[in-house]
Amino acid sequence: MARGGKKTTNTAETLPANTRALGGRAKITINDIARLANVSKKTVSRVINESPLVRQETREKVKAIIAEHGYAPDPQARALAFRRSFLVGMIYDNPSPQYVVNMQRGILDVLADTSFQLVLHPCERSEATFKQKIHTFVSQQKPLGVILPPSVSEDDTLAEMFEELGCEYVRIASVELDAPSRMVRTHDAEGAAQAARHLASLGHEKIAHIHGPKTFRSAHERMAGFKAGLKEHGLSLRKKWTVEGAYTFDSGVQCAEKLIYSDARPTAIFTGNDEMAVGAYQAVRKAGLRVPDDISVVGFDDTPMAARVWPPMTTVRLPIREMGQAAASLLLKEPVEKAGSELVSFTPEIVVRESAASPAKS
């Protein structure tokens, strides 16, 4: 048995002092495993990285010793040698906390049993240093990949930057912006069309829409789908009933108030997301009116909040957590496996609760 370390002058007693971690017991390394298995560290490395170039027998022997000693390779050392860390970044500017937390959960579901960690990188597209900060983040941390929910996902120049930096990415968006292996697509237009059909079939004609910011592609998609749905019923979205919000609660309140206090008050409002829908609820109530008796409200996303407000909100469900899972799965798969596979996509579906009813006869 080759028991000699590289420093043959060190006795077994003097070695541990060098190898003890801060306050911990001596940490086992690839060298220990190699010595115990009577192979080179390179072979251990091959086993760790699942290289096919290892004899079955050798592989099993090494694996057994790894398991026996509970050895796990050091992520920092691997990162340095690989020039790539074991981190997955989530880069986001979405203002809805529910959206953010659900997506995190989805990603974490997939990362849970891997050696990858989720690192958060919030940002502001309006900041001048927006891209530079992301560039610094990626070139410093060298994550395996990044996951981009809207609206960050919609920025093509950002995608090019990741490409140049050799960083994998998955874009979650309502438009097919990239190769299938880099996309999780949501059919927002179809979801919005369902909302339109629902309101139209309840008998509404005075229908308003509070859409998200123009900088979000989803805002355009949802509006377009909504218009298409109305058209099927011979209706159209009037300009005076089309208001731009910011996907935030406060903007929902303000936009809904604009509609409520206009000369021609609509009987139904479809909002670009649930946050704004809850804002609309607030405005309706402040005005002494009721949902849905006086004004019907339909949201988008089906965040947990939608079922918790009163009346429970009719909204279009986007499976955000599952989308996060899908994005993380795409990132972790080998390029070979996902090549040729079709696009991963999700079609939202309307969840009918109690915030939309037939308009009062007036």
Partner DNA sequence: CTGAAAGCGCTTACAG
Q: Which residues of 18-47 are buried (b: 16+ CB within 10 A; e: fewer)?
A: eeeeeeeeeeebbebbbbbbebeeebbbbb
Window 26-65: contact mask with DNA (x via CB under 7 A): -x-xxx-------xxxxxxxx-xx--xxxxxxxx------
The listed partner (a second copy, DNA, none) that binds 30, CB under 5 to 8 Å by sort, is DNA
The listed partner (DNA, a second copy, none) that binds 309, CB under 5 to 8 Å by sort, is a second copy
Name which of 46 and 209 has its Cβ closer to DNA: 46
Could you say which of 14, 16, 68, 82 contacts DNA (CB under 7 A)?
82
Cis peptide upstream of residue 151 (ω within 30 degrees of 0): yes
Beta strands in 64-180, from DSSP E residues, in sequence order = 87-92, 117-122, 145-148, 168-173
Instruction: Output the smallest distance, CB 338 to a second copy, in A.
Output: 19
Instruction: Output the smallest distance, CB 82 to a second copy, in A.
Output: 9
Name which of 5 and 166 has its Cβ closer to a second copy: 166
User: How far is residue 290's CA from residue 287's CA, in Å, rounded to a whole number?
Assistant: 9
Tell me which stretch binds DNA (CB under 7 A): 13-21, 124-132, 184-192, 336-344.
Answer: 13-21
142 binds DNA (CB under 7 A): no
Q: Are strands 344-346 and 183-186 parallel, antiparallel or unpaired?
A: parallel
Tell me which stretch binds DNA (CB under 7 A): 23-31, 89-97, 162-170, 282-290.
Answer: 23-31
25 binds DNA (CB under 7 A): no
Beta carbons of 275 and 247 less than 8 angstroms apart: yes
* Secondary-structure percent of the chain, ordered helix, strand, coil, rounded to 5: 45, 15, 40
**Alpha carbon of 183 to those of 79, 146, 329: distances in Å?**
26, 12, 11
The site for DNA (CB under 7 A) is made up of 6-7, 18-19, 21, 27, 29-31, 39-46, 48-49, 52-59, 71, 73-74, 77-78, 80-83
